[in-house]
Amino acid sequence: MQSAELVDEPPEASDVTAVPAGPGAHLVLRGRTLSSSERRVLAAFAAHVGSAVERARLAEAAAEVEPVKAADRMRTALLRAVGHDLRTPLAAGWAAVTSLRGSEVDFSAADREELLATADESMAKLNRLVENLLDLSRLEAGALTLNLRATSLEEVLPTALADVPGVEVADTEAIPAVLADPPLLERVIANLAGNAARHTPPGQKVLVTASALAGRVELRVVDRGPGLPQAGRGRLFEPFQRLGDTDNTTGLGLGLALARGLTEAMSGTLTPEDTPGGGLTMVVSLPFAEQRAHPQGAQSAGGA
CA–CA separation, 85 vs 242, rounded Å? 12
pLDDT tens across 13-65, in order?
555 666 666 666 666 666 667 677 777 777 777 777 777 777 887 788 777 77
Checking if the pLDDT of 182 tops 70, the result is yes
Contacts of 292 (CB under 8 A, 6+ apart): none
Number of neighbours of residue 294 by Cβ within 10 angstroms: 16
Angle between helices 182-199 and 153-160 (to 10 degrees): 50
CB atoms within 10 A of CB 206: 26
* Chain segment 144-167, per-residue pLDDT in tens: 888 999 999 999 999 999 888 889
Q: Are strands 167-169 and 206-213 parallel, antiparallel or unpaired?
A: parallel
Cα Rg of the chain (Å, integer): 30
Least-confidence region, from 70-79, 177-186, 277-286 = 70-79
* pLDDT at res. 24: 63
- What is the DSSP pairing of strand 167-169 with strand 149-151? unpaired
pLDDT digits (tens, 9 = 90+) for 194-203: 889 988 888 8
**Separation of alpha carbons 210 and 212, rounded Å:** 7
b/e per residue, 160-181, with b = 16+ CB within 10 A?
bbeebeebebbebeebbbbbbb
Domains of the chain: 3-63 (no CATH), 78-141 (1.10.287), 149-301 (3.30.565.10)
pLDDT digits (tens, 9 = 90+) for 237-280: 776 565 444 444 444 456 788 888 889 999 999 999 999 988 99
- What confidence category does residue 102 fall into, taking pLDDT thresholds of 50, 70 and 90? confident
Share the mean pLDDT of the chain. Answer: 77
Confidence at residue 59, expressed as pLDDT on a 0 to 100 scale: 80
Question: What's the pLDDT score for residue 12?
Answer: 58
Each residue of 243-255: pLDDT tens digit? 444 444 444 456 7
Neighbour count for residue 13 (Cβ, 10 Å) = 10
Question: 286 and 155 in contact (C-beta within 8 Å)?
Answer: no
State how far the Cα of 206 lies from the Cα of 215, in Å rounded to an integer. Answer: 26
Phi, psi dihedrals of residue 94, rounded to the nearest 5° = -65, -40
pLDDT, position 293: 40
- Global pTM reads 0.60
What is the pLDDT, as a whole number, of residue 246? 45
Summarize the confidence of residues 77-91 as an average pLDDT.
67
Least confident of 67-76, 125-134, 199-208: 67-76
Give the 3-state secondary structure of residue 231.
Answer: helix
Distance between CA atoms of 276 and 37, rounded to whole angstroms? 68
pLDDT of residue 292: 41
pLDDT, residue 168, reads: 93
Residue 9 has pLDDT above 60, yes or no: no
CA dihedral over 264, 267, 271, 277, signed as positive or negative:
negative
Q: Which of 197 and 7 is assigned the larger pLDDT?
A: 197
